[in-house]
Copies of this chain bind each other. A is one copy, B any other.
């Protein structure tokens, strides 16, 4: 079992007491944090000693909502209102194969490791491929196989979708890093009968999370009103799908009764401010959700919508949006935003017993962050520096389950050059198809 002793580090534990250590050490044995403390490190001659030279050591970020393989759609047809129906869905149907999902996810894995994300919640197609790529990269993932009533790239009908779910569970149920998950696409695109089946599936798989887009768009609000004379949350409540294994992504269009209903049933949430902002969808009421006791993690959404997969790009928007809603500087202080990005994100994914903070017995998922850049100086408050000024370039090293995925800013577990080259190759095909769509010559 490998043993690593990090010393001379500034440590942000993100434990319940919010303990910060000015100069301390942290001992990793195998995949687990064994001990940590302040001052001089204990002599452990058998451990690999890493002098952190004053760098910050903190828990890895939890990306609570993503569509990793959509790196391949990053920046495609930005600012065009009907991009989803005009380009994205046709491209997905024609081009998204197991191979393409592997390529897009590999690029996403490299970007995530550079961005300090150690755990990701994903929803997409060919999800066993996503699980395999993440496992190979050494990342921790909650990988959600999408099921939807519309024709999806990996299932022609709903039964085929359920078979994909069963395969995913069979492959990853006992995996140390990858947790299989079921991802009904959204209320309007799956329908209530399918959600009832989701509830039966959950009864058979009580430990596995369900992920769903929830209360995200005007389209969905209209669907709920016209078909069920209700809000999206109350439209689906009768199916029983609102339970403690549900992670709702976005959760923008909710009223007081919806919030109470979600809280009573232990539902968790993932907010995606850049994606929501860029689409002009609105601002999620994060303060109200948290005040009701709902754990709210921070997600990037897919790079088609949110462009990047690092949480730094999301942290300031999370804070700004809450302050704009309230008309005050007070809501969501930097300290709370860092909590949401780490330990609260872990709660949103149901993984709080294993990750999210640096405490003995927890998994060694951590970052070494170089705080020396001019743009971070001076540092009166580490949380404020992380939320409002740091970028992925400040991360020096990323560890998951005791394994270094990046050291000295070199990614060690993903062939980054190949991932970039593969993505560019696929993008050429996408670009050519877009031109055919514009010319009306697409098949």
A contacts, CB < 8 Å to B:
71-72, 74-81, 83, 107, 110-111, 114-115, 274, 277-283, 307-310, 313, 316-317, 319-321, 323-324, 326-331, 333-334, 372, 374-381, 383-385, 388-389, 391-393, 416, 419-420, 423-424, 426-427, 430-431
Q: Is the CB of A280 within 8 A of B374?
A: no
Specify which of A317, A334, A374, A431 lies most central, judged by the most chain B CB atoms within 10 Å of its CB: A374
Q: Is the CB of B374 within 8 A of A110?
A: yes
Q: Is the CB of A280 within 8 A of B114?
A: no
Copies of this protein, total: 2
24 interchain pairs, CB-CB under 8 A = A75-B379, A75-B381, A75-B388, A78-B334, A78-B381, A78-B383, A78-B384, A80-B330, A81-B329, A83-B329, A107-B374, A274-B388, A278-B316, A278-B319, A278-B329, A280-B329, A280-B330, A283-B324, A308-B375, A308-B389, A372-B420, A377-B420, A377-B424, A391-B393
The distance from the CB of A21 to the nearest CB of chain B, in whole angstroms, is 19
The residue from B79, B333, B393 contacting A78, defined by CB atoms under 8 A apart? B333
Q: Is the CB of B114 within 8 A of A375?
A: yes
The distance from the CB of A222 to the nearest CB of chain B, in whole angstroms, is 14
What CA separation (Å) do A279 and B329 show in the bound complex? Answer: 5
- DSSP majority for the A interface? helix
The distance from the CB of A95 to the nearest CB of chain B, in whole angstroms, is 13
Chain B residues with Cβ under 8 A from A385's Cβ? 75
Q: Which residue of B lies closest to A312 (CB)?
A: B391
Q: Is the CB of B416 within 8 A of A374?
A: yes
Chain B residues with Cβ under 8 A from A391's Cβ? 391-393
Question: 18 more A-B contacts (CB under 8 A) besides A78-B381, A374-B416, A391-B391?
Answer: A72-B378, A74-B376, A75-B389, A79-B333, A80-B329, A81-B328, A81-B330, A107-B377, A111-B375, A114-B375, A277-B324, A278-B319, A280-B324, A280-B329, A313-B316, A377-B423, A378-B426, A392-B393
Chain B residues with Cβ under 8 A from A110's Cβ? 374
What CA separation (Å) do A381 and B331 show in the bound complex? Answer: 36
